[in-house]
Amino acid sequence: MSIKSEQVERSIKNKAMGAYYLAHEFGHTYYRIPDQYEHGGACLMNSAYEDMAVLVGYKKLIESDKACQQCEPWVTLKHEIEELKSIFKSSEADLSHVERMLTLIAESPTFILGRDYFLSLALNFPFRYYESIGDELGLFYCVALAKNNRMSHFLEWHVDKIKKIEKE
């Protein structure tokens, strides 16, 4: 094998590892997008059996320069939630931000993998907000929303507070 062909092969391997394999795993951990079997080869989250080899998947992926439209709801949701989380941290939050966060949670796609945990994290912020301003109605609203959406993580985290709110 010549040096030249070895270099070409390595650079393709590196791209395939970074642009395909690592980016795919990032899609799982950061955006919480599950493996997709019907989005086609142009989808980074494509996990169709015939495309499982990294180089095969990578070649199909770079044939298209557009992001997968069917994965868009996860990306939008994550970005909006992250934006709101930073607003809550900056203490500039007001009721309009709480409303936006709660609407986002209520309307989010139900097909999200790890939805319960992900949305529990998001609902934590409005819950803390209502707690800090002593708004009991707001707390009831958060708890009711969590129960309607069976967000068990959220309910587990705040089980003592919820018991206290419901007793009063």
**Residue 103 and residue 85: Cα distance in Å, rounded?**
14
Shortest separation between residue 10's beta carbon and Zn ion, angstroms: 24
Per DSSP, the chain holds a count of helices (H) and strands (E) of: 9, 0
- Would you say 38 or 160 has its CB closer to Zn ion? 38
Asked whether position 60 contacts Zn ion by CB under 5 A, the answer is no
Instruction: For residue 153, give every residue at least 6 positions away whose Cβ sits within 8 Å of its Cβ, in sequence order, or none.
Output: 116, 117, 120
Asked whether position 70 contacts Zn ion by CB under 5 A, the answer is yes
Asked whether position 76 contacts Zn ion by CB under 5 A, the answer is no
| Identified binder of Zn ion from the candidate list 16, 57, 61, 71, rule CB under 5 A | 71
Shortest separation between residue 130's beta carbon and Zn ion, angstroms: 36
- Would you say 45 or 145 has its CB closer to Zn ion? 45
Instruction: Give the per-residue contact string, 34-53, with Zn ion (x = CB under 5 A; - = no).
Output: -xx--x---x-x--------
Q: Which helix (H) or strand (E) holds 164?
A: helix 159-167
CA-wise closest residue to 39 among 26, 30, 27, 22: 27
